[in-house]
Every structure is written in C-alpha cells, then in structure tokens.
Amino acid sequence: MKYARFYGIGDIRIEEGADLEPGDGEAILKVRAVGVCPTDVKAYYSGSSSIKVPIVLGHEVSGTILSSGTEQLNPGLKVNVAADCPCLECGICRRGLVNMCPNMLSLGVNVPGGYAETMRIPSEFIERGLVYPLTGGTGFVEGALIEPVAVSLHCLNLADYASIENAAVIGDGPNALIHLQLLKRIKRVKNVTVIGLSENRLKFATRFGADHVVNISREKNFYSEMKKEQIDLVDITIGNPEAAAESSHLLGKGTHILIFGGSMNDAQIPVSMNDVHYKQLRVTGSTGTDLKSYSNALDLVKSGKIDLVDLITARFRLEDLASALDYSRNLRGLKCAVEFPDG
C-alpha cells in the first residue's frame, strides 16, 4: 500500500509499505477522502513540535472498513474517523476539557493519519465510539470534513448567543466560511460580516449567507464604518496576529472574542486592560472539539445543513499531496481534498 510520509519541513515522500492487517480490536480503513487542513500546511512549511516525525499526516478522514478485528465495525461500512481520541479518564478529561487531554491520540500527530491508501484505526478510537458511520447520501469528501465542522462548532458554542446580534468573522478561509454558515444557519445570528482579503473567497462568503463582506485591501475605513453598530462577537478564524490585533477596533460593550486560529509562531497580541475591564470583554480560545460537538457536526453534515461540497475547490491524488499543500497555502481557492479512486 502507498502512503505519503512527512519527515520534516518541506519533506514529504510517497512510499510503499506492506498491506496492513488489523490487530485485536482494530480495523483497517480503505481511505477515500482526506481534507487538507491548515494544520498540515503549517507542519509542512513551518514544522511542528508536537508531530512525531516521520509520520503520515492527515486527520480529516473518511473511507470504508476494509478488514476488522472487532465486531463493532464490519467490512464495507462507510465511516468518518475522528481526528483525536482523548483518554476520558484523566483529570483534564474529567473536567470536561477532553479537547485538551494530555494523553490524546491524534491522527497525523502521534498516530499515522489518512494520507495513505489504507489507515489503521487504533482500538481506542473504536472502543470510545470515535468511528462514525456515514449513512444516507453523505459523500466521502463531506464525510471527511466533519472534523473541521466539529472544531468550528466547539468554538462557536463557547459564546452566549442571547446577547449576540452582530458578528464579525475575521478571515475568509474555509474555516471562516464554515463558521459563517454555523453562525447564520445554526446560531441564527442576525448580522454576520466576513472580513477578508480575497475577492474570490468573499464571493463565496456572500453565497454562504454573509450579510456583509469587507475586503480590507480595498476598504480602508471599514473599522469606523462598522463601529457605528455594536459588534457583539468577533470571531478570529485565522492565525494572523496583525489581523487579530486590528480587530480590537471592533470591540464594543460586552463583546465576545473567540480565538479559533493558532499563529505560526507564538505571536503576542496587545490587549488593553481597561478595554477588558470597562467593556467587560469576554475572550475565549478554542482548540479541537468535544464529543457532543462532534456528533452534532455529524448530524449537520448528514442533513445537508452545512454546505461542504462547494467549499471544496480542488481535488488531488495522493501522489500530488505537495501540490495540494501548496494550493492551500497560496489561498488560490478554498479547501482542497485528497481523494482515492474506488477499487
């Protein structure tokens, strides 16, 4: 079987290995689609201290069960595999912070991921119910994208919508457009403005229901324009510290600030102590997802409430993974996926 192994910055090799056999309690997945995530791009171009190299990356995975060492999963079953498997037993998990479990098993981080013809599903993922059957007409690509919907939902669930009328989404990438859809269609936020840099991506934002879009390369005075209305939620979906710092112009009374994007290096953003104090700002970060957000995301994707098909603007083969990563980095389109042919 063929797989793409990541060795370090700029080094991904297509290799051939022996066919995988499932151990007791494990299953082997025939991979059909993997979403290319900004985390993969970040690892490939800037490295990552948490990833145990060499490893197969790819954590947004769907496919069919090829062989199984457990009665829980039968061969032929179409599934999505969660990216992360928390232990559910440690002190952090017991506090309900399973997304930050220190014993986490994570595809493409410390467990081989999906950029491979076949992938071993560890027994822990199966025991903890983290392999989700894709029933109905859900395609493999949409099935692979449940993870980004789940992490987005986990983030947005951290704000209180009773007091949110106007929201600003900072960023126009694929995750921003998932956030936008969730804010409009699930959280029912009245006004959502998407602030970005790419005319093409902002057109998608309008299509996905944005009430306003702002191209910051063209509209220089938009902060003062926008500030005429109270902004209740500033949702920072990108890892750009300058953009995050600039969005402080939008903060109103009681504004919720969600930081969803991680920065390339450990960038600092200046926050005024008095702003936090006098405006009663609520600043919340978000990483990963929890089990409930994951199963809710699965339902949203299965029911077609979130449009993922149009979010995929390019499809690549495994052999062209480096091109897929380059496509994601150059912000040419939206999201891309690696697909594997049937058969």
Site residues (CB under 5 A) for Zn ion?
A: 37, 86-87, 90, 93, 101, 103
Cβ–Cβ < 8 Å for 161, 189: yes
Written as six digits, the tokens of 270 are 């200046």
161 Cβ contact list (under 8 Å, min separation 6): 187, 188, 189
- Residue 6 or 222: the one with the smaller Cβ distance to Zn ion is 6
- Smallest gap, in angstroms, from Cβ of residue 181 to Zn ion? 17
- Residue 86 or 122: the one with the smaller Cβ distance to Zn ion is 86
d(CA 277, CA 240): 25
- Residue 96 or 343: the one with the smaller Cβ distance to Zn ion is 96
Give me the residue label for tokens 């769907």: 62
CA 5 from centroid of its chain's CA atoms: 21
Partners of 24 in beta bridges = none
d(CA 317, CA 93): 37
- Smallest gap, in angstroms, from Cβ of residue 173 to Zn ion? 12
Cβ–Cβ < 8 Å for 326, 45: no
d(CA 18, CA 157): 43
- Smallest gap, in angstroms, from Cβ of residue 313 to Zn ion? 17
d(CA 83, CA 325): 19
- Residue 86 or 196: the one with the smaller Cβ distance to Zn ion is 86
- Residue 1 or 87: the one with the smaller Cβ distance to Zn ion is 87
DSSP β-ladder status, 233-236 and 166-170: parallel
- Smallest gap, in angstroms, from Cβ of residue 314 to Zn ion? 17
- Residue 209 or 262: the one with the smaller Cβ distance to Zn ion is 262
Residue 8 host element (H or E):
strand 2-8
- Smallest gap, in angstroms, from Cβ of residue 114 to Zn ion? 11
- Smallest gap, in angstroms, from Cβ of residue 174 to Zn ion? 10
- Smallest gap, in angstroms, from Cβ of residue 39 to Zn ion? 5
d(CA 149, CA 63): 18
d(CA 343, CA 269): 50
- Residue 87 or 276: the one with the smaller Cβ distance to Zn ion is 87
- Residue 35 or 241: the one with the smaller Cβ distance to Zn ion is 35
- Smallest gap, in angstroms, from Cβ of residue 81 to Zn ion? 13
**How would DSSP label each residue in 165-229?**
SEEEEE--SHHHHHHHHIIIIIS--SEEEEEES-HHHHHHHHHTT-SEEEETTT-TTHHHHHTTS
- Residue 101 or 281: the one with the smaller Cβ distance to Zn ion is 101
170: left (phi over 0), alpha (psi -120 to 50) or beta: beta
Residue 77: count of CB within 10 angstroms of its CB: 17
Side chain identity, residue 140: F
